[in-house]
Amino acid sequence: MTEFMEQVHKIIDLNLEKGKTIADVRKKLKRAKYSDEMINKIFESYNRKQMPFLKRNKQLLYILGIMVLISFTILAFTSCATRCDDKTCFFEKANDCGTAEFTQAEDTITIEYKIDNCILTKTITELDESEPEAIHELFQDQQMVCPYVKNNFNFESIDSFLNNIEDCEGSLKQIVLQLRAVGIQQLT
């Protein structure tokens, strides 16, 4: 490649880096009194110089695209929790240490149960408007996590958020234990 072509290629690169298009550069060359034939030769030479780079980038883009598709496929099949509509579905997923979610209203409290890798999470997600403000402040968004052994999930754990909390940890368990200690009968 001649020194002239190298200089012109550098000018094209600089203009493209500044956000100009190939058409803009062609117009500039035309205004600088280059013939159409010379402009075509410049861009033929420029395109030939860019080809190995473009081929490498296309291969890289194909590889990255395939990797992204594989990643999304794996995520879609492994980390998406099954949304259970009943206790039976949730129990089956829990007993197998799967990943699932189940929401249940218990009197005036709505509990979200989640399982993931043999850990049950119980979270108070909603309280009825009839509950006093103090109860809302005490229980809203509180949770506890309860580990269990595969194929040994206790169905009673989802009959009420108060059941089987002995092996649990978290703010919700602490609140329940404190209320039981002061003798609130409804939590025994």
- C-alpha count within 13 angstroms, C-beta hemisphere, residue 121: 13
Confidence bin at 52 (pLDDT 50/70/90): low
pLDDT digits (tens, 9 = 90+) for 70-108: 887 776 665 567 889 998 899 899 999 989 999 998 888
Contact 160, 105 (CB under 8 A): no
Nearest to 93 by CA among 117, 71, 66: 117
Instruction: Give the bridge partners for 114, in sequence order.
Output: 101, 121
pLDDT at 184: 61
Pairing of strands 99-106, 82-83: parallel
pLDDT at 27 over 70: yes
Nearest to 83 by CA among 105, 115, 56: 115
Mean pLDDT score, 150-160: 85
Q: Collapsing DSSP states into helix, strand and coil, what is residue 119?
A: strand
The CA distance from 118 to 181, in Å, is 29
Pairing of strands 119-127, 109-116: antiparallel
Q: What does the block give as tokens for 116?
A: 């993931």
Per-chain mean pLDDT for the chain: 83
Kind and range of the H or E run holding 92? helix 87-95
- Give Cβ neighbours of residue 76 (< 8 Å, ≥ 6 apart): none
Q: What does the block give as tokens for 80?
A: 């998406």
pLDDT at 188: 42
Q: What does the block give as tokens for 16?
A: 């493209």
Q: DSSP state, 157?
A: G
